[in-house]
Each structure stands twice: as structure tokens, then as C-alpha cells.
């Protein structure tokens, strides 16, 4: 039996207009569209080899993974096997160059790299849209790590057109994400369980109904390189998602005291002329976006704040690619 192998690299992304809640959990069709930026310098590199073994296997950062983590990967491999009409099991080996628990959603880069490497190893050359759909089935936000630069994930009418596409290229606007790492004291609820709770908040319907307005403002702010409008809308959107999280049943509270402290500093810095704005995913760490020329200053200020143990710095990242 022949062996087919391929290696791909993908970047994580930070959402400016957030995805929270699905209209279809199995297909991961989101309740609202979203916008993000890929993070340069941070990546997942994944090698997929189809061979004659009896089971799929998964190694992440040199450690074997079984159970739910492996099942999630196998479900993507099953989709690929279905399209390519093959039956071989696969060996999947993945490396992240960013620390686990650093407030960077690793599932986005992981499933984008897996979609690209596994389809190519199976002999398929899929379009960007097809890859985005495939990655989406592993993790919704992974659909946004397939195209490069600034990306919009469209809700679509169904599975076929629920895909992400670039709205601006990597070098369109020099933004930097300074991720302030706040040591979270408790284990967080993962996003898959979180999406399922979104509908229990009475605020979710209002958040979803208003999403097209926020997407429009955010897309325009990026295309016009209007930092003030950009900072205002990403903070507003992040706060709305966390309002839904906090008012779900059971409630999800991802923020720590230090998280809120950073919000207040960031707003004060902006009021005093420093172009910065914050956004937070399903964790306590704060992504502080700034114009790249100010990133050294922003990093220095963040490091001085109480509760900040580290700061990761990332520019705008490119598309997922075969190595």
C-alpha cells in the first residue's frame, strides 16, 4: 500500500467581531458572521501521513493524544476520506510554536493546518473556500485561518457558502497584536461547550441581531485604516460577547481582576493619544491591538501592569500554506 504525506502550516487568528454560538452545532454554522486577523510568527505545523495502520493516531508537541482530541481530528479525516474516496488511516503529527494556555486559540491554527495537510496528503487540491469549509468542521474559527491577512467569515445560507475570505491582504494595514498574558487561576470552559450555552443568555438574540451592523463598521474601519473607529468597535463587540457569556446558564466568567485593569489602562492610553484597543476571547488574556509603530511602547506599558506575566507580540499573518 502506498503512503501519502503532506505538511502544512497555519496561523492562529484574533477575532475583531466575535463568533459565539452556532445555529447548527454539528456543522458549526455560526449564529453570526465574524472578522479576524491572522497572527504572524505564531503557527501550527502539521504533517499528515495516510498509511496502512488500523487506526488514526495523533501526536501534539511530541505527546500522543487519544480520546476526544483524537476523535475530533478523525472526524475531519473522515470527511477528507469521503471526498477523496480512500480508506487509509492517518498519522497526524502537530507542533505549535506558541505556549499552550497563552490565550491564543490553538484550535483555529490546528484545524486549518489539518484541513490543508490532510486533503493534500489524500491527493486533493481543494479551493480556499473548500478548505475553509473543511477547517470549520473542526473548529469554527479555523475557517478564518485558511485565507491570509484580514478575514471575514460569512454566515452563508448553509454549509456550502459558510466560508471565510480575505477582506484585506497581509500588508494592507500595519497592525500589531500585543497579547497580555494574565495568569488564570481556574480552568476555563472550552469554546465548544461555550457555543452551546450562548442561546441560554437573553442577551444573545440582541447580540446576533446587531452583528451585521458591527461587521459593517469593523470592515469599513479596516478598509479605511480608521484606528479610532476600529478600536471602538472591537471593544464594543468583545464586551457584548462577554456580556452573553456572563449571563448564560451556567454563567461563564472568563475575566480576572487584571483583565479589567488592562481594559481601563488601554482606554486611558487611547484617550491620551496612543492608538490602542482591546479584545478578549474565551479566556482572561487581553489582546491589545495597536498601530505597529507603537508596539514597542504598548508592550513596555503592558509589562509594567499588575498581573501581566508575559506579552506576546504578533503582526498580521498570511494564509495557511503547504510546506
Q: By CB under 6 A, name the one of 44, 176, 191, 204 that touches ligand PMV.
A: 191
Q: By CB under 6 A, name the one of 6, 7, 34, 285 that touches ligand PMV.
A: 34
Is 44 a binder of ligand PMV (CB under 6 A)? no
Question: What are 191's three cell numbers?
Answer: 469554546
Q: Is residue 16 a contact partner of residue 234, using CB atoms and an 8 Å limit?
A: yes
Q: Which stretch binds ligand PMV (CB under 6 A): 180-188, 191-199, 300-308, 313-321?
A: 191-199
Q: How many residues does the chain have?
A: 323
How far apart CA 7 and CA 49 sit, in angstroms, is 9
Q: Which stretch binds ligand PMV (CB under 6 A): 83-91, 102-110, 164-172, 262-270?
A: 102-110
The pair phi, psi for residue 16, each rounded to 5°, is -95, -40
Q: Which is nearer to ligand PMV, 49 or 191 (CB)?
A: 191
Nearest CA to 150 out of 85, 224, 209 is that of 224
In the complex, minimum distance from the CB of residue 85 to ligand PMV, in angstroms, rounded to a whole number: 29
Residue spans of alpha helices (H) in 122-190: 128-136
Q: Which residues pair with 159 in a beta bridge?
A: none
Q: By CB under 6 A, name the one of 33, 103, 140, 149 that touches ligand PMV.
A: 140
Is 259 a binder of ligand PMV (CB under 6 A)? no
Q: Which stretch binds ligand PMV (CB under 6 A): 14-22, 53-61, 117-125, 170-178?
A: 14-22
Nearest CA to 311 out of 274, 267, 271, 258 is that of 258
How far apart CA 141 and CA 18 sit, in angstroms, is 9
The pair phi, psi for residue 313, each rounded to 5°, is -125, 125
Q: Which is nearer to ligand PMV, 6 or 106 (CB)?
A: 106
Q: Which is nearer to ligand PMV, 122 or 211 (CB)?
A: 211
The residues that touch ligand PMV, with contacts defined as CB under 6 A, are: 15, 18-20, 34, 105, 107-108, 139-141, 191-192, 195, 281-282
Amino acid at each position: 500500500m502506498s503512503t501519502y504525506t503532506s505538511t502544512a502550516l497555519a496561523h492562529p487568528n484574533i477575532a475583531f467581531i466575535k463568533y459565539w454560538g452556532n445555529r447548527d452545532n454539528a456543522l458549526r454554522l455560526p449564529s453570526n458572521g465574524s472578522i479576524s486577523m491572522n497572527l504572524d510568527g505564531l503557527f501550527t505545523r502539521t504533517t499528515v501521513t495516510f498509511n496502512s495502520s488500523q487506526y488514526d493516531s495523533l501526536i501534539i508537541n511530541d505527546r500522543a493524544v487519544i480520546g476526544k482530541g483524537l476523535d475530533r481530528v478523525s472526524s475531519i479525516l473522515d470527511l477528507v476520506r469521503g471526498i477523496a474516496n480512500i480508506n487509509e488511516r492517518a498519522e497526524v503529527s502537530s507542533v505549535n510554536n506558541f505556549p499552550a494556555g497563552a490565550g491564543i486559540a490553538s484550535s483555529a491554527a490546528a484545524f486549518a493546518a489539518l484541513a490543508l495537510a490532510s486533503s493534500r496528503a489524500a491527493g486533493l487540491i481543494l479551493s480556499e473556500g473548500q478548505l475553509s469549509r473543511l477547517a470549520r468542521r473542526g473548529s469554527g474559527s479555523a475557517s478564518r485561518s485558511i485565507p491570509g491577512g484580514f478575514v471575514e467569515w460569512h454566515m452563508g445560507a448553509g454549509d456550502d457558502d459558510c466560508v471565510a475570505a480575505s477582506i484585506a491582504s497581509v500588508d494592507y494595514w500595519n497592525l500589531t497584536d500585543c497579547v497580555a498574558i494574565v495568569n488564570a487561576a481556574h480552568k476555563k470552559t472550552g469554546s465548544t461547550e461555550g457555543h452551546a450555552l450562548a442561546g441560554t443568555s437573553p442577551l444573545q438574540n440582541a447580540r446576533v441581531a446587531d452583528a451585521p451592523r458591527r461587521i459593517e463598521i469593523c470592515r469599513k474601519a479596516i478598509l479605511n485604516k480608521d484606528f479610532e473607529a476600529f478600536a471602538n468597535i472591537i471593544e464594543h463587540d468583545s464586551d457584548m460577547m462577554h456580556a452573553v457569556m456572563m449571563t448564560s446558564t451556567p454563567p461563564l466568567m472568563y475575566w480576572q481582576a487584571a483583565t479589567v485593569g488592562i481594559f481601563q489602562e488601554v482606554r486611558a492610553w487611547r484617550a491620551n493619544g496612543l492608538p490602542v484597543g482591546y479584545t478578549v476571547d474565551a479566556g482572561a488574556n487581553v489582546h491589545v491591538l495597536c498601530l505597529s509603530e507603537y508596539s514597542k511602547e504598548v508592550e513596555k506599558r503592558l509589562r509594567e501592569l499588575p498581573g501581566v506575566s508575559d506579552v506576546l507580540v504578533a503582526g498580521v499573518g498570511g494564509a495557511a500554506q503547504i510546506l
